[in-house]
């Protein structure tokens, strides 16, 4: 049966835009996620955006002074997590990361590449390893001050070392591991202190007459402590070697150099540090900090020029020196993008955790825009305007975005498609694209077949570019299927920012002018709608809401998931929600405002310039861009607003850089419900098993399919869905669109062929990304008893879960499989760790000689990206193969992750696959009418009925033959006495294998072979 189950309601949007005189009140207090741990949001997918300032760890292998090379990702390719504060000792690396939560925690990377989280629930920074490599010391924020903590490299033994009213940071171990030095303000100005590892009284070790001492690093071989001294905002390097005042590190021509973040190399003589200064011959950018090395062995100060180790156009911090089996490596924490001012495609979880850089460059921001926000949209030569936008496809698996690129020495903006994890980047074909076009503001049609976007021909920053017009293209071919033409009375205005309604009937967009005002650009924009199919019936929504042609600036419209409301920006600081049925309007932001006919201004508490709204899949929240402060030079952040409570969560407030133009990933929660075991049954008896596919929402699930994995010794005889269609041969049911809250039952007929207990696995998948894949598969044990020997044995114990982190297992069912049948490859990904498994991608290694019958939605022949897996969660991915030749081979798979993984060795799995070719032979292959021949078969599925047919001519009907456990059988076939002479074909047919013929010759009696048995 098909019925409805409770699901998360979309009624809230209707309530928000319903007729009422009340105003939606947004709480005045906006909460930063770093100050409040948010609840997990397992039903929603990620939020993608364009941003700057993302940080990760880079490495230079075999670094040599003055031989400059760029750093490469330490933790591998793929989406980069937000990692910082890297430090190394021996072959171990520690760092902080946001990959498992909105606050930074301490992580350890072992020599084998595995990554383990060591802390939880803290706000950690500056981790350092002990000399014996058994302990990590770090500081953590508590209110407005930081304290020192210790934890074992296995994540145990967490304890707080200091708990005072002073701010204590930057801990570092003494060479014997008995003491820890740190920077603190216990006596007013910052000085360096030491404290026993076991706790106790801290002792001050520096007494600088001027400035603040910070960033200490204890020499690994002697008692010297390197640190930086900040005098009136200028930091310089010092080394304390006895006494209480440090000696300058640099002398000679470099005596006035600025320097910070000193780190000793393992030999105790070399000292790494950061400085923006450089010699006149250095080819590096004088505006970026560089990594230098000096040799302190001959004494201080060092008068020779420091050796330049790294000079990238990136924001670099925390140099470290790693020595492992591959040699020596310089490590740094740095901005992930190729330059400091490159904006990239990024994403984040709705609770503010795991901000990732997806490795797709979008534009080059003008660096002076931090002082002049007008340069964001009218940059200087050589930089790009922030006219970008990104949009998730309706299935949540692809992102459309606009990217600036250089083609034929010309800077142009083009539409691109990438997978949701940033992989598989490809330029969108547009049939009538000209070399000078700028393409931007791409948005998907609800069915995913079309993209609407704005195009400027020729491209360029105002006033050099042409007018912007909206174009609709087919995604698969790039064919232009529609152009939005303004009416004559507004033909001089531009059209941008299209948005499709959920039912595909309406297109909203921004129409207006941009011109120079006395001090800055002036935008005079309204939100309009048009009929999507024909792009006519154009209507000014802003004027309808105001009741007149009001002087307001509205843009960036978006439909609510139920299609009843439209949200858009109202300058300078407003967001409106409008009912399309009657033009009734409510002010979402700022709070306490009750008019939709005027410009809107934020209160002192903000949010400031909220814009670019995107709805959550369930319609209960929106994510938007807002400035961190009221000053126009303040960078943008992402805020999540709960439409029911008005609560504002500032999910990127503590991230560096700016984050803009969010889009919320569409998602569903499909589940399979099946009994854990069927009743005991005798061999050959059909047992009905009812399987239910459920969509728990929040979105509808098109392209929903159920796949069955049938083990050897079990036969699937029937699949009867309440709706949709099934194919037993293909081991698959196509259920079409399953609405939120809907359940579809499939009654299956299962036959046990041999005694024992075997499990049939059912898995469901749909076109839309499922962010809770753990319930997408279920297994039903089929206990089969022998009528003579008794009941089946008890089930085997379940396999032990993986020790930590994500792991992969694979099995092929049935094995052996048979030519002409189907074999289901089941990949099971489990997260046995204590943190979220992210950045997952499953690579298939399927036998090249075996055709693929069915791939899961979102997967290609080589594999597919997977959603994040919560601790203890799993996902089943099933591929159905169609063997067409006998063979013995191996099916393999590799699980890749950019997240935490304490045991990478279990990310590779393999399973044997054997394919048999059923064959028959007639013994003898010749006989006269009335003769009984023996048909012998080998390599047939045990227990599966085999029917023998005779063509042309006639033969006596016979019951199907049942192959033995070894796949063989011997059956008799009667040649009727009335049959004619001549060649015949005996064919063996049955479920799960290809029909196999063998020749037979009917001859007159005189031609028969000797000793022929005659029927009497």
CB 531 within 8 A of CB 539: no
pLDDT in tens, 601-638: 999 988 999 999 999 998 999 999 999 999 999 999 99
CA dihedral 679, 683, 685, 688 (to 10 degrees): 40
Name the β-bridge partners of 290: 275
Which pLDDT value is given to residue 514?
83
Segment 299-306 mean pLDDT: 96
State yes or no: pLDDT of 486 exceeds 80: yes
Query: What does the pLDDT average to over 283-296?
Result: 92
pLDDT 10s digits, 141-182 = 999 999 999 999 999 999 999 999 999 999 999 999 999 999
Q: Is a pLDDT exceeding 60 seen at residue 352?
A: yes
pLDDT at 871: 86
- Helix/strand/coil for 660: strand
- Cα–Cα distance measured from residue 522 to residue 12, given in angstroms and rounded to the nearest whole number: 35
Is a pLDDT exceeding 90 seen at residue 718?
A: yes
Average confidence (pLDDT) over 807-822: 94
**Weakest-pLDDT range from 404-408, 526-530, 669-673, 771-775:** 771-775
Q: What is the pLDDT of residues 950-979, one digit of tens each?
A: 888 766 677 899 999 899 999 998 888 788
Instruction: Say what the pLDDT of residue 1015 is.
Output: 46
Predicted confidence (pLDDT) at residue 16 exceeds the cutoff of 80: no
Residue 592: band (very low, low, confident or very high) from pLDDT cuts 50, 70, 90? confident
Query: Do 883 and 941 contact (CB within 8 A), yes or no?
Result: no
Q: What is the pLDDT confidence band of residue 793, given thresholds at 50, 70 and 90?
A: low
791 band by pLDDT with thresholds 50, 70 and 90: low
Burial of 749 (0-12, 13-18, 19+ CB in 10 A): middle
Q: Taking 90 as the threshold, does the pLDDT of residue 697 lie above it?
A: no
Q: What is the pLDDT of residue 804?
A: 57
The answer to whether residue 252 scores a pLDDT higher than 50 is: yes
Cis peptide before 643 (omega within 30 of 0): no
> Binning pLDDT at 50, 70 and 90, where does residue 478 land?
very high
- Mean pLDDT score, 548-553: 84
66-79: average pLDDT: 92
The token duo for 270 is 């070399």
Determine the pLDDT at residue 1009. 54
Q: What is the pLDDT of residue 1016?
A: 42
With 70 as the cut, is the pLDDT of residue 35 above it? Answer: no
Q: Worst-scoring range by mean pLDDT, 259-273, 585-599, 647-661, 721-735?
A: 585-599
What pTM does this model have? Answer: 0.89
Which residues, other chains included, contact 422 with Cβ-Cβ below 8 Å and sequence gap of 6+?
78, 79, 345, 358, 359, 360, 399
pLDDT band at 1011 (very low <50, low <70, confident <90, very high): low
Of 45-59, 429-443, 819-833, 860-874, the least confident: 860-874
Grade residue 29 by pLDDT with cuts at 50, 70 and 90.
Answer: very low
Mean pLDDT within 180-204: 96
Per-residue model confidence (pLDDT) at position 919: 97
Radius of gyration of the chain (CA): 35
pLDDT at 853: 94
Domains and CATH numbers, the chain: 11-49+339-664 (2.120.10.30), 55-335 (2.120.10.30), 670-916 (2.60.40.10), 919-1007 (2.60.40.10)
Mean pLDDT of 663-692: 94
Structure tokens at 163: 């708990």
pLDDT in tens, 630-639: 999 999 999 9
Closest to 10 (Cα-Cα) out of 397, 673, 559, 646: 559
**Contacts of the segment 975-982: beta carbons below 8 A, 24+ positions apart:** 975/927, 975/928, 975/929, 975/930, 975/931, 975/932, 975/933, 975/1002, 976/929, 976/930, 977/929, 977/930, 977/1015, 978/929, 978/954, 979/929, 979/953, 979/954, 979/955, 980/953, 981/928, 981/929, 982/952, 982/953
Q: What is the mean pLDDT of residues 857-868?
A: 88
Confidence (pLDDT) at 788: 66
Predicted confidence at residue 32, as pLDDT, reads 43
Per-residue pLDDT reduced to its tens digit, 200-222 = 999 999 999 999 999 999 999 99
């Amino acid at each position: 049966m098909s019925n409805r189950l409770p699901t998360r309601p979309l009624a809230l949007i209707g309530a928000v835009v319903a007729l009422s005189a009340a105003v939606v009140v947004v709480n005045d207090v906006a909460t930063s996620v770093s100050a409040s741990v948010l609840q997990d949001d397992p039903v929603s997918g990620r939020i993608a955006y364009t941003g700057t300032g993302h940080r990760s760890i880079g490495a230079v292998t075999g670094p040599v002074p003055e031989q400059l090379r760029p750093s490469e990702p330490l933790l591998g390719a793929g989406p980069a997590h937000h990692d910082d504060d890297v430090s190394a000792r021996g072959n171990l690396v520690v760092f902080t990361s946001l990959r498992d939560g909105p606050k930074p925690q301490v992580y350890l990377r072992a020599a084998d590449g595995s990554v383990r989280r060591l802390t939880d629930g803290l706000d950690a920074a500056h981790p350092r390893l002990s000399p014996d490599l058994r302990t990590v010391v770090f500081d953590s924020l508590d209110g407005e001050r930081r304290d020192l903590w210790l934890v074992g490299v296995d994540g145990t033994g967490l304890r707080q070392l200091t708990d005072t009213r002073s701010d204590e940071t930057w801990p570092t171990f003494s060479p014997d591991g008995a003491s820890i030095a740190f920077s603190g303000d216990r006596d007013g100005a910052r000085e360096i202190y030491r404290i026993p590892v076991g706790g106790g009284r801290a002792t001050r070790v520096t007494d600088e007459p001027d400035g603040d001492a910070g960033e200490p690093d204890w020499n690994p071989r002697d008692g010297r402590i390197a640190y930086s001294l900040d005098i009136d905002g200028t930091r310089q390097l010092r080394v304390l070697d006895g006494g209480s005042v440090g000696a300058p590190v640099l002398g000679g021509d470099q005596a006035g150099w600025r320097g910070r973040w000193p780190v000793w190399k393992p030999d105790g003589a070399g000292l790494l540090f950061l400085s923006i200064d450089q010699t006149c011959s250095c080819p590096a950018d004088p505006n970026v900090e560089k990594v230098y090395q000096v040799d302190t062995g001959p004494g201080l100060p060092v008068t020779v020029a420091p050796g330049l180790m790294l000079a990238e156009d990136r924001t670099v911090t925390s140099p470290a020196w790693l020595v492992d089996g591959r040699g020596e490596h310089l490590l740094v924490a740095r901005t992930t993008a190729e330059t400091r001012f490159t904006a990239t495609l990024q994403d984040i979880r709705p609770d503010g955790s795991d901000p990732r850089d997806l490795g797709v460059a979008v534009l080059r921001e003008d660096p002076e825009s931090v002082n002049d926000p007008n340069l964001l949209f009218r940059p200087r030569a050589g930089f790009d305007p922030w006219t970008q936008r990104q949009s998730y496809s309706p299935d949540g698996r692809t992102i459309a975005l606009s990217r600036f690129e250089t083609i034929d020495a010309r800077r142009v903006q083009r539409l691109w498609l990438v997978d949701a994890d940033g992989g598989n980047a490809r330029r969108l074909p547009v049939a009538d694209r000209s070399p000078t076009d700028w393409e931007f503001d791409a948005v998907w049609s609800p069915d995913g077949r079309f993209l609407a976007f704005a195009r400027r021909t020729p491209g360029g920053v105002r006033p050099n570019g042409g007018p912007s017009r909206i174009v609709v293209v087919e995604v698969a071919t790039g064919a232009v299927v529609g152009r939005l033409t303004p009416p004559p009375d507004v033909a001089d205005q531009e059209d941008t920012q299209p948005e499709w309604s959920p039912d595909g009937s309406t297109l909203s967009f921004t129409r207006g002018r941009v011109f120079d005002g006395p001090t800055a650009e002036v935008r005079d924009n309204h939100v309009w709608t048009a009929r999507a199919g024909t792009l006519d019936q154009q209507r000014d929504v802003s004027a309808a809401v105001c009741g007149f042609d009001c002087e307001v600036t509205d843009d960036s419209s978006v439909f609510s998931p139920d299609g009843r409301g439209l949200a858009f920006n109202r300058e300078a600081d407003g967001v409106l929600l409008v009912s399309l049925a009657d033009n009734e309007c409510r002010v979402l932001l700022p709070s306490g405002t009750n008019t939709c006919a005027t410009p809107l201004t934020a209160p002192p508490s903000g949010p400031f310039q909220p814009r670019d709204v995107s709805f959550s899949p369930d319609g209960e929240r929106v994510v938007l861009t807002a400035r961190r402060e009221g000053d126009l030079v303040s960078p943008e952040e992402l805020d999540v607003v709960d439409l029911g409570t008005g609560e504002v969560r500032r999910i990127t407030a503590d991230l560096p850089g700016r984050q803009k133009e969010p889009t919320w990933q569409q998602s569903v929660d499909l589940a399979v419900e099946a009994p854990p075991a069927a009743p005991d049954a005798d061999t050959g008896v059909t047992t009905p098993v009812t399987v239910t596919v459920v969509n728990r929402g929040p979105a509808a699930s098109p392209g929903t399919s159920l796949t069955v994995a049938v083990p050897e010794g079990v036969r699937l005889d029937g699949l009867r869905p309440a709706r949709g269609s099934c194919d037993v041969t293909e081991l698959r049911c196509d259920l079409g669109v399953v609405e939120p809250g809907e359940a579809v039952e499939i009654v299956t007929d299962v036959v046990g062929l041999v005694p024992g207990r075997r499990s049939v696995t059912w898995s469901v998948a749909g076109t839309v990304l499922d962010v809770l894949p753990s319930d997408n598969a279920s297994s039903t044990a089929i206990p089969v008893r022998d009528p003579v020997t008794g009941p089946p044995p008890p089930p085997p114990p379940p396999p032990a879960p993986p020790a930590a982190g994500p792991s992969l297992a694979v099995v092929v069912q049935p094995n052996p499989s048979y030519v002409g049948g189907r074999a289901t490859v089941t990949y099971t990904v489990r997260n046995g760790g204590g943190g979220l498994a992210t950045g997952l991608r499953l690579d298939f290694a399927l036998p090249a000689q075996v055709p693929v019958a069915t791939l899961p939605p979102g997967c290609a022949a080589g594999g597919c990206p997977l959603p994040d897996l919560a601790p203890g969660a799993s996902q089943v991915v099933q591929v159905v193969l169609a063997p067409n030749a006998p063979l013995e081979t191996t099916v393999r798979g590799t699980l890749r992750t950019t997240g935490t993984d304490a045991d990478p060795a279990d990310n590779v799995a393999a399973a044997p696959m054997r394919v048999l070719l059923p064959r028959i032979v007639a013994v003898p292959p010749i006989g006269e009418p009335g003769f009984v021949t023996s048909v012998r078969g080998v390599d047939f599925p045990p227990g599966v009925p085999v029917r023998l047919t005779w063509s042309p001519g006639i033969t006596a009907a016979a019951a199907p033959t049942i192959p033995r456990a070894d796949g063989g059988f011997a059956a008799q076939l009667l040649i009727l006495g009335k049959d004619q002479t001549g060649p015949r074909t005996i064919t063996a047919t049955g479920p799960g294998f290809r029909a196999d013929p063998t020749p037979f010759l009917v001859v007159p009696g005189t031609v028969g072979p000797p000793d022929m048995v005659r029927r009497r």
